[in-house]
Amino acid sequence: MIIVMSPSSTDEDLKRVENAVESRGLRCHLSKGEERTIVGVIGDKKQISQLEVNMLPGVEKSVRITEKYKLVSREFHPQDSVVDVDGVKIGAGHLTVMAGPCAVESEEQLMEAAKCVKDGGAQFLRGGAFKPRTSPYDFQGLAEEGLKLLRKAGDAYGLKVVTEIVNQNDIDLIAKYADMFQIGARNMQNFQLLKEVGRSKKPVLLKRGLCATISEWLNAAEYIASEGNMNIVLCERGIRTYETFTRNTLDLSAVAAVKELSHLPIVVDPSHGTGRWQMVQPMSCAAIAAGADGLIIEVHPHPEVALSDGSQSLTPKNFNATMDKVRQIANLMGRE
C-alpha cells in the first residue's frame, strides 16, 4: 500500500503513520516529493486495512497496489487450469457449451430441450430448479422435482448437468443430481454460500455479480478456493450500466482481463448478458473470438411459452446456426 500525506501534514502526523504501520510488523519506506510525502508500506498486506489508514491525521489518501486474492491468481499458478467435470474438460483449448431452458418447467419441455442441446453439439444441460426472482410472486422453480428431471434428461442424452444453488442448505440435495453448481450473479458475494460450495469438491460455475468489479469477482472465487475447491469456472454475464436497450452490458473485455489475472477458465453468457435473443449469435461469436473457453446459452424448444426469460432464448434452429458459427471461430482461434 502507498500512503499519500497531505501537503499540510506535520512531522508528527508522519510519525503517527509510521508507528501505526510498524506496530503491525510492517515496514515503511518514505519518498519525499516536491509537493507530498509518500509512505510505501512493505510486508504482509493482510496486516493493515486501507480504510483504517485513511483516518489517521494528515493522510490525504491511500492506494492499494496488490490484490488480496492469491490461489486464483495467474501469479500463483502461471498455467491455464483445466476443470474436469466428470470427464468433460473446461479450459485450455477446449470449447465447452452449456445450454438449456432458463427454468425447468416440465418433463416434456426439458426432454425436448435436452435433445436440441445435444443435437447442437453442447456438452452440458443447464436449467433452473430453484430460481432467484426479483418479485416473490414470480415463478420460483420446481425444486427437487426439477432436479430429478434435469438428471433424467442429462442421462438420457449424455449431457452433464449444471444448475443454480440459491440456498446453502441445499448443497447435498443438489450435489445428488447435478454435476456442477452454478452460483448466480445475485449470490456472487453470498460468502456463506461460497464457503459451502468450497467445502464440497464439486465443480462450480461462478457468475459475475451485476455490478461486481473483476477484482471482487476473483476475490469471490478465492473464497471457494480457500476452502479447498479449485474446480472453478468463471462466467461473464453482463454488468449493470446506464444503457437500457440491452438488459445488461456484456463486458467481453472481462474475458481478456481474467486471462491476464487468473488461471481459471471463463465462459460467457450472451443470453442474460444482452437479454435479446437476436444478439445471442453475434455475442457468442464475439466471446469466443475474445478468448472465452465456452458459452452458456438459453435454448427453449418453444420460447413463446417460456415461463421466464423467453426474450433471451434461442429456438433450436437458431441454436444450431449459432453453434456452427461458433465452432468455426473456435477452430480459427485454436480451440477444439
Question: Which residues between 303 and 332 bind a second copy (CB under 8 A)?
Answer: 303-313, 328-329, 332
Rounded Cα distance, 82 and 264, in Å: 8
Closest CB 231 distance from a second copy, rounded Å: 17
The site for a second copy, by CB under 8 A, has a size of 109
Closest CB 174 distance from a second copy, rounded Å: 13
Question: Which residues between 14 and 53 bind a second copy (CB under 8 A)?
Answer: 16, 20, 29, 31-36, 38, 40, 42-44, 46, 49-53
**Closer of 11 and 242 to a second copy (Cβ):** 242
Question: Residue 6 CB: number of other CB atoms within 10 A?
Answer: 15
Spell out the alpha helix ranges (H) of 211-313.
214-225, 253-261, 270-274, 280-289
Location of C-alpha cell 470427464 = 87
Quote the crossing angle between the two packed helices 214-225 and 253-261, to the nearest 10°: 50
Options 273, 294, 301, 316; binder of a second copy; rule CB under 8 A: 273
**Residue 10 engages a second copy in binding (rule: CB under 8 A):** no
Closest CB 132 distance from a second copy, rounded Å: 5
**Residue 92 engages a second copy in binding (rule: CB under 8 A):** no
Options 223, 235, 236, 265; binder of a second copy; rule CB under 8 A: 223
In the structure grid, which three cell numbers stand for residue 238, read together?
453482463
Tell me how far CA of residue 12 lies from CA of 22, 25, 58, 202, in angstroms. Answer: 15, 20, 9, 54
What is the CA 71 to chain-centroid distance, rounded?
Answer: 16
Closest CB 87 distance from a second copy, rounded Å: 29
**Closer of 156 and 329 to a second copy (Cβ):** 329
* Closest-CA residue to 301 (of 310, 293, 292): 310
Site string for a second copy, 289-308 (x = CB under 8 A): xxx-----------xxxxxx
Rounded Cα distance, 223 and 171, in Å: 16
**Residue 63 engages a second copy in binding (rule: CB under 8 A):** yes
> Using an 8 Å Cβ cutoff, are 109 and 305 in contact?
no
**Residue 262 engages a second copy in binding (rule: CB under 8 A):** no
Which range of residues in 55-63, 143-151, 175-183, 229-237 is near a second copy by CB under 8 A?
55-63
**Residue 77 engages a second copy in binding (rule: CB under 8 A):** no
Rounded Cα distance, 219 and 95, in Å: 25
**Closer of 156 and 216 to a second copy (Cβ):** 216
Options 12, 22, 25, 65; binder of a second copy; rule CB under 8 A: 65
**Closer of 96 and 284 to a second copy (Cβ):** 284
Question: Which residues between 190 and 219 bind a second copy (CB under 8 A)?
Answer: 190-192, 210-211, 213-216, 219
What is the CA 167 to chain-centroid distance, rounded?
Answer: 18
Options 133, 148, 151, 202; binder of a second copy; rule CB under 8 A: 133
Closest CB 67 distance from a second copy, rounded Å: 9
Rounded Cα distance, 123 and 324, in Å: 15
Site string for a second copy, 239-258 (x = CB under 8 A): xxxxxxxx--xxxxx-xxx-
In the structure grid, which three cell numbers stand for residue 97, read together?
457449451
Options 10, 25, 68, 158; binder of a second copy; rule CB under 8 A: 68
**Closer of 179 and 298 to a second copy (Cβ):** 298
Q: Which CB contacts under 8 angstroms, 24+ apart, belong to 157-160?
A: 157/114, 157/115, 157/117, 157/118, 157/125, 158/118, 159/114, 159/117, 159/118, 159/122, 159/123, 159/124, 159/125, 160/85, 160/86, 160/88, 160/123, 160/124, 160/125
Closest CB 316 distance from a second copy, rounded Å: 13
* Exposure b/e, 27-66, CB count within 10 A at least 16 = b: ebeeeeeeeebbbebeeebeebeeeebeebebbeebeeee
